Structure 1
Amino acid sequence: MSKPEGISAGQIGIFLILFCIGSTPMFELGIDARQDSWIALGAAAIAGLGVLWGYRTLQNRAPEEDLAGLFKLHFGRAIGTALGLAMGLLLAYESMRNVRDFGELTSMTLLPETPIWCVMLLITGIAFYTVTKGVETFFRITQILLPALAGSYVLLLVLLLASGRIEPDRLRPMLENGLGPVLDTAFPDLLAFPFSQTIVLLVYWKYAAASKRAGAASYGAYAVVALFLVAVNAVIMMVLGPAIASIKALPTLEAVELIRLASFIERLDILVTLLLYIGLYVKISALYLASALLLRSACGLPLPAGALMIGPIIYGAAFLEPTNTFHLWLGLELSLKLTPIYQLLLPALMLVMGIGWVKRKAERQRAEGGRAGAGKTGAGKAGGADGAKGGSRSGGEPRSSS
């Protein structure tokens, strides 16, 4: 029997940082609020902390269950299984969006002559290999990647400061048109992406159930990544200004390309591209793995089989969007209006309907499972003892002579 997978609270925090960063620096989020975009992002981050608290409250009702298990506890086995399968497909869709982002980024920057189907096939294959290795291996990979990611972003920020390209006046006037445009930009779009995507933790928290600090690590990591995203947004706005940032496909790359130091430090857009690759890889693999885990939890499909079934769906669906413009419109406009249904409304319904009885139900199921396991162990021991006694008696009896 294989050893159950387990991760630590620190690994949960590291994963959350890399997952939330993901592809987010590719975009100047909240640009509809113009120079107040960083304020809109901050408002969404504060609301997202409340959403994270709601997710953690759900997890605390049944620490050893994942999202599919929580669906079954709240809605019953039939509806819970259907919701688990649907959620698995939704996470596969989110993974597909990042696969397409990876392909488009590569075509626009490093490999413009390479067919996009080849690039997307490569990253999907790498993600498939990662998923088949399981939760523990994936979370160890995030531990390895974090120092490189954090150090590189700090270096870029220092170089931007040293280059003299940052002009705080580009953030003025603040709240020129009042709070209305800021709140309209923050809700629901910025709350849905990237902050409510932390719903994926409801798949992974169960693997850190043995650690009592998983919740605290999640809140701490969320605070770090929220401050980072707001700071990056403000820096890009101070470098480019709202007029330029609103028309650039990759504003972060555009800002870094302006760095010129000592006549030899330049072309750092390659570094930014590699950092985006790291973030996209983590996000693609995390969503892909979560989708396969939900299929396993909902209907008992083994992880390798689930990965093999979901991979072609992710890769094939990445070609359904004919152009990058349509891809961005679908993801940043239409999808963000629909994702709150499963990110916010469904968890809120579960919070309200299961205040007391769901936790008692989960505890009762664990107790029944423990008694059943103890009964099997006791029966096995009794059977072994009886067999030993029987063997002793048979070995002790004198043989009759023929």
Structure 2
Amino acid sequence: MNENVEKISIWQLYILIIGFQVGSAVLVGIGNEAKGDAWIAVIIGTIIGVAIIWYYLFILKKLPGKNLFEIILFCFGKWIGKPLIFLYVIYFLYLSARVLRDFDELIVSSIFEFTPIEFISITMILTIVYILHQGVEVLGRTSEVFFPYVLTFIVFIGLFLLLSGEMDFHNLQPVLGDGFKPVMNAIFPGIITFPFGESIAFMCIFSKVITNEKVTSTSIIAVLTSGFLLTYSAIIQIATLGVNLKERTNFPLLNAAREISLLDFIERVDILIVFTIMFGVIVKVSIFFYCGLKGIEALTHKTHRSFTLPLGAIIAFLSIEIASSYREHIIEGLKFVPLYIHLPLQFGIPLFILPFLFWKAKKKQKKESNQ
């Protein structure tokens, strides 16, 4: 294996975290349970998100250079560790399929209305398979190219809506009009699991960063940047479309962008939102997919590249079969996934790992000192 294509720079890590966290969260919107106070929920969720990614890095620093699966094997041994790794492989592939389905539905409903959804799914997964087969560095470099455009588009969408007179900031009032409970309902388990808890995937990426010196500070800054962009997006959506976003549209930022009409010249800029979301989806699916591949690698001791195409086919198939309709897909994502899938795998097992990690590390150190 060429190790050069398994390394990313600190700047690429920063971009990947932002693309990963903003990705599908911008597509479907987050914090909608808090209605007009969604932006407050996102701000608080971001602060919790910083603590979450710090904790993941804290675990990794106990065994430098190791990824999530190697730490699981170190802590629990092969008899317990391998079933846990297999569980995480299923989890990451499942999330890849869910994010891909989000994008499929967006494209079919907004641009290619008469194109079979299967065609969109296969086309996207083949692109991702090619990127991952070339190496994670290719994903980093690809993100590096597109990130400035994506950032510019997000900023200008809000500016264009403001200049078009489509934004009504009275929609943001009264602040906490229904109290703090709706905000808390939006934060837990929603926002802390999606998108911030999903950063557990980066426990397979951090070891690929060229330098470890600034990984923690860069990751925290990236989460704060993601939180700022998601807060900005939430304010745009509420000010433009009102507070009942869940009842009005499946893709709130896209619908908000369609309201832009400036000087009878700047119109139909929703294609910019589609481009922005496509970037985020490629990053997010690629990272989840890569984590699944690394899990298979840990189980089989074979290079993950040999599994990219068959697992890509499984993800494309699952993205279609995961739900019979987009409504069913969303309900599953809001009701079932956060409580019964995200919480145990994002927080339960990592919290369980830490005492074992301390115990095993101390036992190993004592054994070495006695030799």
**TM-score, length-scaled by structure 2:** 0.93
Q: Could you tell me how far 1:229 is from its partner in structure 2?
A: 0.5
Q: Could you tell me how far 1:209 is from its partner in structure 2?
A: 6.1
Q: Could you tell me how far 1:24 is from its partner in structure 2?
A: 1.2
Correspondence for 1:346 among 346, 349, 360: 349
Q: Could you tell me how far 1:3 is from its partner in structure 2?
A: 3.4
CA distance in 1, matches of 2:10, 2:366: 23
Distance 1:150 1:80, change over 3 A: same
Unaligned runs of 5+ in 1: 368-402
Distance 1:57 1:111, change over 3 A: same
What pairs up with 1:324-363 in 2 under 5 angstroms? 324-338=326-340, 339-355=342-358, 357-358=360-361, 361=364
Distance 1:244 1:190, change over 3 A: closer
Q: Tell me if structure 2 keeps the 8 A contact 1:296–1:303.
A: yes
CA distance in 2, matches of 1:58, 1:244: 38
Q: Deviations over 1:292-327 (max 9, x none)?
A: 122112331322222133112212212221111111
Partner of 1:66: 67
Unaligned runs of 5+ in 2: none
Q: Tell me if structure 2 keeps the 8 A contact 1:54–1:351.
A: no
Q: What SS class does the counterpart of residue 79 from structure 2 fall into?
A: helix
Q: Deviations over 1:7-64 (max 9, x none)?
A: 2222211110111111111223222211111112222221121111110101101121
Distance 1:41 1:3, change over 3 A: closer
Distance 1:172 1:304, change over 3 A: same
Q: Is 1:223 the counterpart of 2:240 in the alignment? A: no
Partner of 1:138: 139
Q: Is 1:23 the counterpart of 2:28 in the alignment? A: no
What pairs up with 1:33-112 in 2 under 5 angstroms? 33-112=34-113
Q: What SS class does the counterpart of residue 273 from structure 2 fall into?
A: helix
Distance 1:146 1:3, change over 3 A: same
Q: Could you tell me how far 1:78 is from its partner in structure 2?
A: 2.5
Distance 1:362 1:185, change over 3 A: farther
What pairs up with 1:122-133 in 2 under 5 angstroms? 122-133=123-134
CA distance in 2, matches of 1:66, 1:218: 16
Partner of 1:316: 317
Q: Could you tell me how far 1:104 is from its partner in structure 2?
A: 0.8
Distance 1:32 1:360, change over 3 A: same
Count residues with an aligned counterpart: 366
Distance 1:12 1:174, change over 3 A: same
CA distance in 1, matches of 2:31, 2:23: 17
Q: Tell me if structure 2 keeps the 8 A contact 1:62–1:362.
A: no
Q: What SS class does the counterpart of residue 249 from structure 1 fall into?
A: coil
Q: Could you tell me how far 1:284 is from its partner in structure 2?
A: 1.3
Distance 1:185 1:2, change over 3 A: closer
Partner of 1:265: 266
Equivalent position amino acid for 1:355 in 2: F
CA distance in 1, matches of 2:265, 2:133: 43
Q: Could you tell me how far 1:111 is from its partner in structure 2?
A: 0.3
What pairs up with 1:187-202 in 2 under 5 angstroms? 187-202=188-203
CA RMSD of aligned residues (A): 2.0
Equivalent position amino acid for 2:44 in 1: A
CA distance in 2, matches of 1:359, 1:162: 61
Distance 1:135 1:364, change over 3 A: farther
**TM-score, length-scaled by structure 1:** 0.86
Partner of 2:282: 281
Partner of 2:235: 234
Q: What SS class does the counterpart of residue 76 from structure 1 fall into?
A: helix
Equivalent position amino acid for 1:343 in 2: Q
Distance 1:190 1:364, change over 3 A: farther
Distance 1:228 1:67, change over 3 A: same
CA distance in 1, matches of 2:366, 2:132: 31
CA distance in 1, matches of 2:367, 2:189: 38
Equivalent position amino acid for 1:2 in 2: N
Identity within the alignment, %: 26
Q: Tell me if structure 2 keeps the 8 A contact 1:62–1:363.
A: no
